[in-house]
Amino acid sequence: MTSLGYEKPTDPARSALMRRVRQTGTKAEDDVAAILRQSGLRFRRNVKSLPGSPDFANKTQHWAIFVNGCFWHRHQGCGRTTTPTRNRDFWLAKFAANVKRDKIKTRLLRALGFRVVTIWECETRTPTKVRRRLKALMR
């Protein structure tokens, strides 16, 4: 049992697959970075000095962006938000913890006066959607 009260997955193939999932430098993040550069917005990546280490942030202009994977962060209504059938209790607890952590870090950033935008992985396939979402930062 882990500190979260659920068992770790035991399937070696699943474990190997999960180890290959990147946390930073994903294609979705790179796509958002390109759009930010095209829009003339200056930013830093993976800002560890801010709550939740936003994927992109500008401390001077007080904005932060999280690029969330639909599977890991439970994008409501998205087809990529599936739940594995093996070890279901483990995954449900893990996903619930991820969502709770996301809400907390967004709340903390907003308390510091930051505008926070979450871009979902599936949205990065349509650059116009991302640009529309980022308009709030371009004020």
pLDDT in tens, 71-107: 989 999 998 889 888 889 999 999 999 999 999 999 9
Mean pLDDT of 26-31: 89
Who wins on pLDDT, 42 or 16?
A: 42
Which CATH number does the domain 12-138 belong to among 3.40.960.10, 3.20.20.10, 3.40.50.2300, 3.40.47.10?
A: 3.40.960.10
Strand order in the sheet with 44-45: 44-45, 56-58, 63-68, 115-120
